[in-house]
């Protein structure tokens, strides 16, 4: 019996025991669970602090001097000496968690709050029950809503920091360590005047915006903001009045940004009267959800844009191939072909860029990409905020332009036209043309290429892959992606125009 001979060979005691021991050792090492805390980032240590930043153009504020900051006590005053003593007292008994907080926040104030915002978006990016009325306490942070949140946060951070830079150089208060050499500086030294504190400005502005959006998180956010500000005191980087002045400034700027938010027409985007049902097109999109769900934010296309709305509306994509035309059918057949023979790599790409429910959405994904570029370049706090404000205004405008296009043409998803098209990702509950992912990615890659030209090639590749991922996923036609990318690139160009005239040396 040949078979039993073979079996005898491979079942020999010694061979098996060795194999088993080897596998077990390999398995044991593989079964160790990785430490998933973090991400842990090095302390930011920008060489260029953008000392001229106080003159840069603000977005919502008229100028960087619009919000005033009280004149600080002189370094020689008893009040200031007492503030120095407070730091020294606190530094004698630093706990482990305090040291950890210092380390955590030193990675960059704007970036940390951006990260917190992405986590909050992910937490709230959960579609409500079908038919449920919108709950202002628990906003559904879908891609459009999320793009608006990122923009409001970044704009508040940026305007507050430009103001802070203005006041810093107006008062020129030196850092505590320069007055008192008994204070230990536990973060990299900064050439910036310390009053008002840029960290307190960012913490307070971020707190104000985020608790307005996510009222249920007020306590969590407030604890974070307190920890953030205290960490600067413990690190020896700021005295108490640097923080209180910064926090007051940050809060006031944020309140002005929220005034803008209340009037941007987003409150009408949900189309409470279902006017979208009246739109007449030859073959109309319908919900593929069970039970059927009303489409996402049909009037988001009417929301106020950040950049030049005339230019943006002129650049909107034209009509797609008519449903049923040869060109359309070819595009549909391509989706079907990919769905029928989807490779593992196509699935991976689809999943990598899916950014669906429970994630920070595509705008969040691009914020993450921007954050890692900012870290590589070691940008100043102010430059970081400028980058994110340029990016996130473009991303929200991308949402507006894309949604306007979606609810002009009401193009059905591929699976509506051919139910045999199976997908590698959830089918979004709104019309197909143009792709939101493509529009976001075209805009983001264009803005980021302007800011990080040496990464241009890679950014372009990422944007193209993000767009293609929707075709691989089976939920978009190629023409959705191509038109979305172009529209996004045009939005990016409007952002660049703004960036070229904001007074920053770039």
Q: Which residues bind other proteins (CB under 8 A)?
A: 1, 3-5, 7-8, 11-13, 16-17, 19-20, 23-24, 27-28, 30-39, 100, 104, 116, 118-120, 122-123, 125-127, 217, 220, 288-291, 339, 342, 344, 347-348, 351-352, 354-360, 364-365, 368, 415, 419, 421-424, 427, 474
Instruction: Name the residue among 217, 213, 243, 239 with its Cα closest to residue 228.
Output: 243
Q: CB-wise, 23 or 189, nearer to other proteins?
A: 23
Q: CB-wise, 419 or 505, nearer to other proteins?
A: 419
Q: CB-wise, 29 or 76, nearer to other proteins?
A: 29
Q: CB-wise, 317 or 360, nearer to other proteins?
A: 360
Q: CB-wise, 34 or 280, nearer to other proteins?
A: 34
Q: Is 49 within 8 Å of 191 (Cβ atoms)?
A: yes
Q: Is 445 within 8 Å of 463 (Cβ atoms)?
A: yes
Q: State the nearest-atom distance from the C-beta of 505 to other proteins, in Å.
A: 33
How many alpha carbons lie under 13 Å from residue 228 in its C-beta half-sphere?
30
322: left (phi over 0), alpha (psi -120 to 50) or beta: beta
Q: Is 186 within 8 Å of 197 (Cβ atoms)?
A: no
Bond from prior residue into 39 cis (ω within 30 degrees of 0) = yes
Q: CB-wise, 173 or 224, nearer to other proteins?
A: 224
Phi/psi at 356 (5° precision): -90, -150
Q: State the nearest-atom distance from the C-beta of 91 to other proteins, in Å.
A: 21
- If you count them, how many residues does the chain have? 506
Q: State the nearest-atom distance from the C-beta of 103 to other proteins, in Å.
A: 9
Instruction: Name the residue among 37, 43, 74, 65 with its Cα closest to residue 171.
Output: 74
Instruction: Name the residue among 494, 492, 467, 482 with its Cα closest to residue 317.
Output: 482
Neighbours of 342 (CB within 10 A): 17
Instruction: Name the residue among 194, 202, 204, 203 with its Cα closest to residue 237.
Output: 194
Q: Is 61 within 8 Å of 256 (Cβ atoms)?
A: yes
Q: CB-wise, 385 or 427, nearer to other proteins?
A: 427
Q: CB-wise, 73 or 289, nearer to other proteins?
A: 289
Q: CB-wise, 356 or 492, nearer to other proteins?
A: 356
Q: State the nearest-atom distance from the C-beta of 305 to other proteins, in Å.
A: 28
Q: State the nearest-atom distance from the C-beta of 36 to other proteins, in Å.
A: 4
Q: State the nearest-atom distance from the C-beta of 186 to other proteins, in Å.
A: 17
Q: State the nearest-atom distance from the C-beta of 35 to other proteins, in Å.
A: 6
Q: Is 44 within 8 Å of 188 (Cβ atoms)?
A: yes
Q: State the nearest-atom distance from the C-beta of 351 to other proteins, in Å.
A: 4
Q: State the nearest-atom distance from the C-beta of 387 to other proteins, in Å.
A: 20
DSSP states along 61-89 = SSSTTSS--PPPPPTTSHHHHHHHHHHHH
């Amino acid at each position: 019996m040949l078979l039993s001979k073979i079996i005898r060979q491979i079942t020999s005691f010694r061979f098996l025991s060795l194999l088993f021991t080897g596998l077990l050792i390999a398995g044991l090492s593989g079964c160790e669970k990785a430490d998933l805390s973090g991400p842990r980032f090095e302390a930011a240590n920008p060489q260029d602090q953008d000392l001229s930043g106080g003159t840069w153009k603000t977005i919502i504020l008229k100028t960087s001097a619009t919000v005033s900051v009280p004149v600080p006590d002189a370094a020689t005053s008893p009040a200031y000496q007492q503030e120095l003593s407070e730091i020294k007292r606190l530094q004698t008994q630093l706990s482990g968690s305090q040291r950890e907080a210092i380390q955590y926040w030193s990675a960059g104030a704007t970036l940390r709050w951006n990260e917190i915002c992405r986590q909050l978006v992910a937490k709230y990016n959960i579609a409500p029950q079908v038919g449920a009325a919108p709950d202002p306490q628990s906003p559904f942070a879908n891609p459009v809503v999320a793009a608006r949140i990122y923009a409001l946060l970044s704009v508040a951070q940026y305007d507050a920091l430009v103001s802070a830079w203005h006041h810093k150089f107006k008062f020129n208060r030196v850092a505590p360590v320069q007055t008192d050499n008994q204070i230990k500086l536990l973060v990299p030294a900064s050439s910036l005047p310390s009053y008002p504190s840029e960290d307190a400005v960012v913490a307070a502005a971020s707190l104000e915006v985020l608790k307005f959006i996510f009222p249920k998180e007020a306590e969590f956010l407030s604890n974070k903001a307190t920890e953030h500000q205290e960490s600067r005191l413990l690190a020896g980087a700021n005295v108490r009045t640097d923080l209180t002045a910064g926090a007051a400034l940050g809060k006031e700027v944020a309140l002005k940004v929220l005034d803008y938010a209340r009037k941007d027409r987003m409150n009408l985007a949900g189309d409470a009267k279902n006017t979208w049902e009246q739109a007449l097109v030859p073959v109309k999109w319908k919900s593929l959800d069970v039970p059927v769900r009303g489409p996402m934010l049909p009037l988001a296309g009417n929301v106020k844009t950040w950049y030049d709305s005339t230019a943006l509306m002129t650049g909107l994509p034209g009509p797609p191939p008519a449903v049923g035309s040869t060109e359309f059918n070819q595009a549909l057949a391509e989706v079907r072909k990919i769905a029928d023979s989807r490779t593992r790599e196509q699935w991976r790409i689809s999943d990598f860029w899916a950014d669906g429910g429970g994630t920070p959405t595509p705008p969040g994904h691009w914020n993450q990409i921007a954050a890692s570029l900012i870290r590589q370049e070691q940008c100043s706090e102010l430059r970081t905020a400028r980058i994110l404000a340029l990016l996130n205004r473009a991303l929200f405008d991308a949402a507006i332009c894309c949604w306007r296009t979606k609810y002009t043409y009401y193009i059905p998803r591929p699976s509506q036209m051919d139910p045999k098209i199976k997908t590698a990702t959830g089918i979004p509950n709104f019309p197909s043309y143009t792709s939101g992912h493509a529009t976001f990615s075209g805009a983001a890659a264009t803005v980021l290429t302007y800011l990080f030209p040496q990464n241009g090639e890679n950014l372009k590749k990422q944007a193209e892959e993000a767009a293609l991922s929707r075709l691989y996923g089976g939920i978009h036609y190629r023409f959705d992606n191509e038109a979305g990318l172009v529209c996004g690139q045009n939005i990016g160009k409007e952002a660049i125009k703004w960036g070229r005239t904001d007074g920053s040396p770039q």
